[in-house]
Amino acid sequence: MRIAVVRPQVPFARGGAEIFSDALVEELQARGHEADSVTVPFKWYPGARVLTQAFLWRLLDLTEADGKRIDMVVATKFPSYLVRHPEKRVWLVHQFRQAYELDRTDLGQFGESPEDRAIRRQVQQLDRIGLGEATRLFATSQNVAGRLERATGLVAEVLPHPAQELSYRNDGSGDFLLSVNRLDRAKRIDLLLEAAAAEPSLRVVVAGDGPDRPRLEQLVRDHGLDGRVRFAGRVPADELATLYATCFATYYAPIDEDFGLGPYESFLSGKPVITATDAGGPLEVVRDGTTGRVVPPVASAVASAAVWLREHSSEAAAFGRAGNAIAISVTWDRAIGRLLS
C-alpha cells in the first residue's frame, strides 16, 4: 500500500511524537509498503492561529500524489487528523491539550475573553469532526484513550508503540540518576532539580533540550548544584544508550503525560523508573515496588526514592528486569498488524 503518515511539525523541535512517526514510516517501508511522512509547520499561537493551522490540514488533498493513489493516511496528533481521506486511520498521540485538561492552568492557552472561549469550543468541535471520520481510531495509551472518550465520546483502541531503536544494554548501576526529556515545563525537570537540592548525595544527568533550559540552568545556579547536575543537551543515539546503560535509575515524571517513551527506554536498558502519582501515561507501566517507584510530586519524595534505589541495587535490578519484560512485549510487528487490519 501507499501510506502517508501525517503530523504537524514545530520547526527545530524533535521529541517523542517525531521519533514515533519517523519510526512508523521506516517500519512500514521495511514491511514492503510505500510509506512517506507528510508534515506541515505548526504554530498554535497567538490567538486564533490554532484554528488557521487546523484549516490548513482540512484543505490538503492527500487522496493522490504525482498521479498515484494514496491508499491510506495515518494521522498522529492535532491538527493532522483533520486531513480528509476515505481511509484515514488515527494513531492518536494527543489532542490539543490546552483546549482540554490544561485549560485554566499555568500550561493553558485560552483566557476568559469571549473570543478565547469560542476558539476553545471550536477546537473541540473540530476534534469531534476530524476524529469521528477515522475508519480506525487508536490511542498510544489508556490515558490518551480516556481523555478522548471523556472529551468527545469517541472510543479508541489502545495501541502502544515501541521505543526508539538504540543499542540498549545494562552496564551496571552507576552513580547518577538520568532524565531524558524535552525541556519544557510540563516535563517537570524542576522537580528533579529540587530533589537534588534536597539530597546532597544525589548526582543527576539531564539529557534533552527545549525552551525551559535557561530557567532550569538558573535553578541549578540558585541551588548551588553545579558539579552535581549536568545538562547533556540533545545527545546522539550511542551516547544516549550509554547514559541509560550506566545510570542507576531514571526519572520520568511529567504532568499527566500522554504515553511517554522514557520508561520503555529505561526498561529496555534494565533500569527502574521514578515517576509521580499524577504522571498519567507512565503509570500504566511504572508500578511502585515492581518496576520502579511511584511517589507524590514532592521533591523530598523523589529524593528519597532515588536514594532508596541507589542503595538497594538488588531490588532496583529486579525492578529493571520486570520492566524489561513489559517493554520487549511491545513490538512493531504487533502494532502494525493491528494498525493495518
Residue ranges of domains in the chain, CATH in brackets? 2-159 (3.40.50.2000), 177-327 (3.40.50.2000)
pTM for the complete prediction?
Answer: 0.88
In eight-state DSSP terms, residue 311 is: H
- Angle at the Cα of 210 from the Cα atoms of 205 and 216, rounded to 5 degrees: 55
The whole-number average pLDDT for the span 118-134 is 96
Please give the mean pLDDT across all residues of the chain.
95
3-state secondary structure of 6: strand
* 236 Cβ contact partners less than 8 Å away, ≥ 6 residues apart: none
**The predicted structure's pLDDT at residue 132:** 97
10 or 295, higher pLDDT: 295
| 336/332 Cα distance (integer angstroms) | 6
Give Cα 323 distance to the centre of its chain: 18
Whose CA is closest to 38, among 62, 20, 2, 69?
A: 62
pLDDT computed for residue 60 by the predictor? 95
pLDDT score recorded for residue 68: 96
